[in-house]
Amino acid sequence: MKKVRITVVRKACYPDLMAKYENPLEHACDMCEGQVFIANGWEKPEGLCQSAWDSMSPFVMTLAHGGGNFYDGWMKNPHSAMISCNDGFRPVSFLIEALDEEV
């Protein structure tokens, strides 16, 4: 099984949607652009948001087991995927890539 690198590539924020629909939060997302996590197969990396992991874990598992080429050539690198967390107010985009290194 391969290790999988998860890189935070972009954070967005939609204050207009937050003002209109969201209850105020004391604490929101801790992810920082450029932050990198390494997944060992099915294990969520420490410090990675649970919501983000829930969105990306099927892709991570597929890549860890040698799969890829999602959606018939969606990504230039067939052993990668660009996945966003499911927070509609402050979505974070993650690049996930299979590494040659084995777990």
In angstroms, the first-to-last Cα distance of the chain is: 6
* d(C-alpha 69, C-alpha 54), whole Å: 20
The candidate with the shortest Cα–Cα distance to 97, out of 87, 86, 83, is: 83
Give 5-51 pLDDT, tens digit per residue: 999 999 999 999 999 999 988 788 899 999 999 999 878 999 999 99
From the list 39, 75, 31, the residue with the least C-alpha distance to 56 is 39
User: For 72-101, how does the pLDDT look when each residue is reduced to its tens digit (9 = 90+)?
Assistant: 999 999 999 999 999 999 999 999 999 998
Residues 6+ apart with CB under 8 A from 53: 44
